[in-house]
Amino acid sequence: MKYQAPRGTHDILPRDSLTWAHLESSFRNLVGLYGYNELRTPTFEDTELFTRSSGETSDIVTKQMYDFADKGGRSITLKAEGTAPAVRAYLEHGLGGQGQVTRLWYTTPVFRYERPQKGRYREHHQFGVECLGSASPLADAEVIEIAYRFLTTIQMPDVSVSLNSIGRAATRAAYREAILGHASAYLTEMGAEDRLRIEKNPLRLLDSKDPKAIDLMKTAPSIQDFLEDESRSRFASLCQALSDLGIPFEIRPEIVRGLDYYTDTVFEVLSHHLGAQSALCGGGRYDRLVQDLGGPDTPAIGFGMGIERLFLVLESLDKLQEAPRIVAFVVAADEIARPMVQRICHDLRNAKISAQCDLEGKDMRRQLKQANALNAEIAVLVGEEELSKRFATIRDLATGEQRALPFDRLVEELQ
RNA sequence: GCGGGUGUAGCUCAGGGGUUAGAGCGCCUCACUGUGGCUGAGGAGGCCGUGGGUUCGAGACCCAUCAUCCGCCCCA
């Protein structure tokens, strides 16, 4: 095979594109019910947008960006995540007006230079929403409700939201000291690279898969105990709001998230139908980001959801969308009937009845084989006798029963 | 970026140094010249991922490379 899709990218083939379209329309319809408006941003941005927003030490910035210099010498990066470009556009076009709450949604390709595995690609696609301009816990609840309701709408099984609060800067500074202190003995026995990783972001210890770390974390202080009063009360309000909405969630203090801009609320939805890449959805509040990108002090919250991962779960459960059956296959019993076959196809399609016919001069037997292979509901047969007496023979392909319908009543009878 | 598994027909997979590389499914032809599905007979389809090497001989063994899958890291 001379050419193939670049590493970590994939084609969405016809049998799968039906499910993709279904996911897309379901999401579009749902966010519309909440008054969210679609935002489309470019496939690439100035590199600095991502380095500024995601955090200089985040993995996305340090090793996963698809960055390159364009012919004008600009440093460009393929969209590495959805929130920063959305905030950029929000600020650039003054979408926030005089501080109103602004609700945006998007579906977009996302590029990260990572080692591909199942559920992890160098180009993948995300749905996302961003609710900008409200600090209310009700905004958090609204965004989480959208994620939850979407997943239930598409019949994603076993959906439960994992929720945490990581507080503000002061909380994380204090907690950082506490957790590093708790783990100091453990840290001295690990390699330099691992230790650096942990020191960069001690919260990583919380979701480590190393048995020693897991054991150590059982006795670790909880970030919940370090929350400031305001963070604590907003978290309580959010939990109450979710309960009121009937959304199941569990508080999981080990949820951290990889982007530096999150404050207070963070959440994830995982699926055990995936392998190691189990997050379907991740999001949180980012009350500092808009300001960091040069805008006014604007609290905001949003999430991203991986479409490929949704697809993989549905596929593993055999829940992909079935192709709509073609209704009528119109068969020419002999060559003289071909023009009438074209005409009938045309009339059926005008009446929104799907119709197909042979294009290659195949004989009647092969045309019927084709109709059968397509799983058409009926065959419409036209031959010499039909032409002279102005009728078509309608054959039910499931039962084999046939009946005659005059040409001028064909479309209405088949409606 | 690190460790491991796998690349053979359109698809799923056998073959593990010795003629012309196999099966099932699918596809095509015929039995069947105005009737699909079922059945039977026949057929097409492969640079055995790619490039080097070892060998009298490589689909098989070695090296490299590309892709993919599993785990780590990380994430959606």
pLDDT tens-digit readout, A370-380: 999 999 999 99
The pLDDT tens digits for A87-142 are 999 999 999 998 899 999 999 999 999 999 989 999 999 999 999 999 999 999 99
Whether residue A205 lies inside any domain: the answer is: no
Rounded to the nearest angstrom, the gap between the alpha carbon of residue A415 and the centroid of all alpha carbons in its chain is: 37
- Domain extent, residue A40, equals 14-168+228-316
CA distances to A344, A351, A353 from A339, in Å: 9, 19, 19
Identify whether residues A31 and A140 lie together within a single domain: yes
Identify whether residues A288 and A357 lie together within a single domain: no
Of A268, A283, A316, the one marking the end of a domain is A316
The enclosing domain of A287 has a CATH number of: 3.30.930.10
- Number of other residues whose CB lies within 10 A of the CB of residue A153: 13
Identify whether residues A292 and A399 lie together within a single domain: no
Identify whether residues A264 and A154 lie together within a single domain: yes
CA distances to A110, A175, A199, A249, A352 from A206, in Å: 27, 12, 13, 19, 57
Asked if the Cβ of residue A211 lies within 7 A of any atom of strand B, the reply is: no
Identify whether residues A345 and A305 lie together within a single domain: no
Whether residue A104 lies inside any domain: the answer is: yes
Listed in sequence order, the residues at least 6 apart from A384 whose beta carbon sits closer than 8 Å to its beta carbon are: A333, A334, A336, A337
Partners of residue A250 on adjacent β-strands: A162
Query: Which nucleotide C1' is nearest A126 CA?
Result: B76
Of A265, A289, A316, the one marking the end of a domain is A316
Of A261, A291, A316, the one marking the end of a domain is A316
Rounded to the nearest angstrom, the gap between the alpha carbon of residue A398 and the centroid of all alpha carbons in its chain is: 38
Identify whether residues A125 and A92 lie together within a single domain: yes
Identify whether residues A100 and A133 lie together within a single domain: yes
Identify whether residues A332 and A308 lie together within a single domain: no
- What percent of chain A has pLDDT above 70? 100
Closest CA to A305 of A134, A138, A143, A77: A143
Long-range contacts of A173-176 (CB under 8 A, 24+ apart): A174/A226, A175/A202, A175/A203, A175/A221, A175/A223, A175/A226, A176/A202
Whether residue A222 lies inside any domain: the answer is: no
Q: What is the pLDDT of residue A211?
A: 80
Give CA–CA dist A383/A331, Å, rounded: 8
Q: What is the pLDDT of residue A214?
A: 83
Whether residue A162 lies inside any domain: the answer is: yes
Whether residue A268 lies inside any domain: the answer is: yes
Asked if the Cβ of residue A397 lies within 7 A of any atom of strand B, the reply is: yes
Rounded to the nearest angstrom, the gap between the alpha carbon of residue A304 and the centroid of all alpha carbons in its chain is: 7
Give the DSSP H/E element, type plus range, for residue A106.
strand A102-111
Identify whether residues A311 and A338 lie together within a single domain: no
Q: What is the pLDDT of residue A1?
A: 63
Q: Measure A374 CA to B26 C1' (Å).
A: 14
- Mean pLDDT, range A32-39, rounded to an integer: 98
Q: Of how many residues is chain A composed?
A: 415
Each residue of A98-120: b (16+ CB within 10 Å) or e? eeebbbbbbbbebbbeeeeeebb
The pLDDT tens digits for A308-365 are 999 999 998 889 998 889 999 999 999 999 999 999 999 999 999 999 999 999 999 9
Identify whether residues A264 and A125 lie together within a single domain: yes
Q: Measure A108 CA to B51 C1' (Å).
A: 38
Query: Which nucleotide C1' is nearest A312 CA?
Result: B76
The token duo for A58 is 């985040």
**DSSP string for A372-395:** HHTT-SEEEEE-HHHHHHTEEEEE
**A window 213-272: Cβ near strand B (< 7 A):** 256-259
Q: With a cut of 80, say whether residue A165 has pLDDT above it.
A: yes
Give CA–CA dist A37/A105, Å, rounded: 6
The enclosing domain of A386 has a CATH number of: 3.40.50.800
Q: Per CA to C1' distance, which residue is closest to B47?
A: A1
Q: What is the pLDDT of residue A300?
A: 97
- Mean pLDDT, range A9-34, rounded to an integer: 95
- Mean pLDDT, range A221-232, rounded to an integer: 93
The answer to whether the complex's ipTM is over 0.95 is no
Q: What is the pLDDT of residue A272?
A: 87
Whether residue A286 lies inside any domain: the answer is: yes
N-terminal to C-terminal alpha carbon distance within chain A: 46
Partners of residue A162 on adjacent β-strands: A250, A268
Listed in sequence order, the residues at least 6 apart from A3 whose beta carbon sits closer than 8 Å to its beta carbon are: none
Q: With a cut of 90, say whether residue A236 has pLDDT above it.
A: yes
Instruction: Compare A135 and A275 and report the one with higher pLDDT.
Output: A135
Nucleotides of B strand lying within 7 Å of any protein CB atom: 1-2, 27-29, 32-37, 49, 66-76
Alpha-helix residue ranges (DSSP H) falling in A80-210: 83-92, 137-153, 169-182, 184-188, 192-200
Whether residue A389 lies inside any domain: the answer is: yes
The pLDDT tens digits for A179-206 are 888 888 888 877 777 777 787 778 788 8
Mean model confidence pLDDT for chain A: 92
The token duo for A290 is 């808009």
Give CA–CA dist A200/A74, Å, rounded: 29
Lowest mean pLDDT, pick from A205-219, A257-271, A341-355: A205-219
Per the CB < 8 A criterion, the answer to whether A398 and A347 are in contact is no
Identify whether residues A242 and A299 lie together within a single domain: yes
Per the CB < 8 A criterion, the answer to whether A374 and A324 are in contact is no
Pairing of strands A402-406, A391-396: antiparallel
Listed in sequence order, the residues at least 6 apart from A16 whose beta carbon sits closer than 8 Å to its beta carbon are: A311, A320
Domain count of chain A?
2
Partners of residue A406 on adjacent β-strands: A391
Whether residue A378 lies inside any domain: the answer is: yes
Identify whether residues A255 and A359 lie together within a single domain: no
Query: Which nucleotide C1' is nearest A210 CA?
Result: B72
Q: With a cut of 90, say whether residue A220 has pLDDT above it.
A: no
Angle between the A307-316 and A14-33 helix axes, to the nearest 10 degrees? 120
